[in-house]
Amino acid sequence: MHIITYIIKGVIMVSYQENELISATELAKKFGQVMSQIKEKSVEKIGVLKNNKLEAVVISTEEYEHLKMIEGLHSLSVDIPDDLSRYSEKIQKAIASGVSEKSHEEIFGDLKKRYEA
């Protein structure tokens, strides 16, 4: 059994077993069979090759929705540190000027609660 690994954008490595790769021509001929494999979870994914180059991946609807959820969570986690960092600077300036009665930790905690809700 051979395992083929593709490196995506120089960061992510995705490995495919031989039974997880199919040419576009073969996919057209065996579309129903491939869909059954995905639906029954006998394979996690099917890589579609065109001219021996990976062009697409067939996954289940459930897996696609899971990936979209992770993508959404990731985008939230990327925004939060930037926002908190920006607010942290404002909070420190406000405290230094005597404008705020709350400590930096209290205000930072309030911001974290707002993002977690």
Rounded Cα distance, 98 and 94, in Å: 6
Q: Which residue has the tokens 């405290």?
A: 95
Domains (ranges, CATH) in the chain?
Answer: 3-59 (3.40.1620), 63-116 (no CATH)
First-to-last C-alpha distance (Å) of the chain: 47
Q: By the 8 A CB rule, do 49 and 21 touch?
A: yes
User: What is the value of pTM for the model shown?
Assistant: 0.57
Q: Which residue has the tokens 């021509």?
A: 25
| Digitized pLDDT (tens) for each residue of the chain, 117 residues in all | 556 665 555 666 778 888 999 999 999 999 999 999 999 999 999 999 999 998 999 999 988 888 888 777 666 655 555 555 666 666 566 656 655 555 556 666 666 676 665
